[in-house]
Every structure is written in C-alpha cells, then in structure tokens.
C-alpha cells in the first residue's frame, strides 16, 4: 500500500504563513507527479500547485506569487509554502500523487487532508 501523510495545517491570521508537508511511503517504485489541492465544504476541489515528472512546477492563478511548492528529487516529501494568507484560503488541503507500484505501472492516491483556517 501507499500512504500520503499531510501535516502543517492549522489556524493563522490574515497575512500569516504556513508550510504544509506531504510525505509518501510504501512499496511504490517511482512517483511521477505530486500536486496540492484544496476544498471548501460544499464546493469543488481546486487545483493549487504540482510538480510534474520532470520536476517542473505549475500554479493556479489564485495562489501564484503567494504559494510555493517544493520537494526532494524523488518527490517522497513535498512542501507547500503558503504566504500572505487570506480568508478565502481557508479550506481542507489535500496532497495527491501519481506513481508506479509493484505490479501496477500507474496508480493514484490522495491524502486525507489537513485543515487550514485563516481567521482574525
């Protein structure tokens, strides 16, 4: 099995910062892509950032310039640095990965999510 463990969520004031972590473990062979999403209850899950198979980052316009995604070369640990947080950033943040597994050339997995609340 593959496990994605997220950490770093919490309560921050507007303008503050948080760094989320996503740690991947299990018997996977290779991680192709890791991405961060967020979801407000009752709304559609929103793409935020990813690192593709070549290590190239992409960002949604809503977070570009404020959020930065990084990680090691194998993407076993990735981070989402969130700066200048606003009320509308409050959501459950999810880590997502695409990977090769023993006996399975391509699989996907989601983390369970971590809560980020921006409040004054």
> What are the pLDDT digits (tens) for 7-44?
999 999 999 999 999 999 998 999 999 999 999 999 99
Q: How far apart are CA 19 and CA 7, in angstroms?
A: 9
Cα(56)–Cα(94) distance, integer angstroms: 19
Asked if the model's pLDDT at residue 105 lies above 90, the reply is no
- Under 8 Å CB-to-CB from 44, ≥6 apart: which residues? none
What per-residue confidence (pLDDT) applies to 104? 86
């Amino acid at each position: 099995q593959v496990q994605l463990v997220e950490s770093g969520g919490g309560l921050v004031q507007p303008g503050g910062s948080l760094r989320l972590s996503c740690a991947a473990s299990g018997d996977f062979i290779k991680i192709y892509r890791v991405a961060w999403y967020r979801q407000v209850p009752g709304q559609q899950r929103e793409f935020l950032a990813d690192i593709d198979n070549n290590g190239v980052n992409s960002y949604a316009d809503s977070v570009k310039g404020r959020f930065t995604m990084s990680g090691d070369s194998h993407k076993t640990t990735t981070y989402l640095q969130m700066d200048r947080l606003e009320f509308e950033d409050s959501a459950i943040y999810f880590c997502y990965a695409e990977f090769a597994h023993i006996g399975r050339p391509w699989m996907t997995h989601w983390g369970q999510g971590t809560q980020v609340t921006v409040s004054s």
